[in-house]
Amino acid sequence: MRAALSSLVSDSTVRAVMGDRCKHREAFLRENERTIELASGFNPADLWPSSRLAGWLSGAVRRAEKCRDTVFGILDGIIQERLERTAEDAAAAAGDDLLDGLLRIQEGGGLQFPLDMEAIKAVIFDIFSAGSETSVTTLEWVIAELVRNPNAMKKATAEVRRAFAGAGAVSEGALGELRYLQHVLVNVWALGRDERYWPGGSPEEFRPERFEDDGPAAGVDFRGANFELLPFGGGRADPSEFDMSVAFGLSGRRKASLLLRPTLRFPVPGF
């Protein structure tokens, strides 16, 4: 499931950043995954940052630099193709994706700091890494929680089918109607475990209904106004029902792979 979600999110992110699919997607995803593993792993240089010997023995910096060089090599090719296409067709320079915007800013200048190609590649890779990893991890936890809570799954499924009834594909226009699914996403954040601050009690219970208009948490602003409800992770394990163990790392991803067979109701390329 994580591989499928990674492909979906990466395609969406790449289209927003570069306006098209990346033909080197598999290599890009592989290096991105490797970068996250390196950042999450144990590195003696973090304990002794002034020791060159600790950094040399761990080899983490060398491996990270190798990942960076591979990713930047892919981005070099993408940027060069964009520059050549823009030179041939002036109308192509009016694109509205992030890469076009960064190249226009670089050409126009006027910034307090130089925006060179290395900075552009670093910005793109940062956005891709942060956006794809967190989105995939959240979606994986959402699906896992729904699988182990059939009643919530039934309500969320019925809402999605109702919103897109008669449509040939899923579009952004009807996403605003998915109110219950939004509550599911909020509840999967694991906003806190202190019953004094948990609306409606039962902090260990996955219950998206608490955030509905008539629920005990209807007035909670989970976007930042209620600071006691800042998200911090993915949830606790409940081995008796479903393996919800959390892996050590930067984003609190699932420790065990989520193995599911989805039933498609809309055509999805690649499935």
The larger pLDDT score, comparing residue 131 to residue 190, is at: 131
Domain ranges of the chain: 1-133, 149-262
Q: Say what the pLDDT of residue 241 is.
A: 55
Residue 230 has pLDDT above 70, yes or no: no
Mean pLDDT of the chain: 76
Q: Is 115 helix (H, G, I), strand (E, B) or coil?
A: coil
In terms of average pLDDT, the best of 149-153, 192-196, 255-259 is 149-153
**What whole-number percentage of the chain has pLDDT above 70?**
76
Q: What are phi and psi of 169, to 5 degrees?
A: -160, 165
Give the pTM. 0.64
Q: Is the pLDDT of residue 48 over 80?
A: yes
Closest among 161, 190, 154, 166 to 178, alpha carbons compared: 161
Residue 96 clears pLDDT 80, i.e. is over it: no
Query: What pLDDT score does 94 carry?
Result: 59
Q: What is the mean pLDDT of residues 18-37?
A: 78
Neighbouring C-beta atoms of residue 35, cutoff 10 Å: 19
Residue 146 has pLDDT above 70, yes or no: yes
Give 237's pLDDT tier (boundaries 50, 70, 90).
Answer: very low
> With bands split at pLDDT 50, 70 and 90, how would you rate the model's confidence at 236?
very low
Q: How many C-beta atoms surround the C-beta of residue 22 within 10 A?
A: 21
Instruction: Determine the Cα angle at 260 with ends 192 and 127, to 5°.
Output: 55
Burial per residue of 121-156, b for 16 or more beta-carbon CB atoms within 10 angstroms, e otherwise: beebbeebbebbbebbbbbbbbbbbbeebeebeebb
| Averaged pLDDT, 167-192 | 73
Average confidence (pLDDT) over 115-138 = 86
Query: Cα–Cα distances in Å, from 173 out to 137, 139, 160, 203?
Result: 25, 20, 13, 33
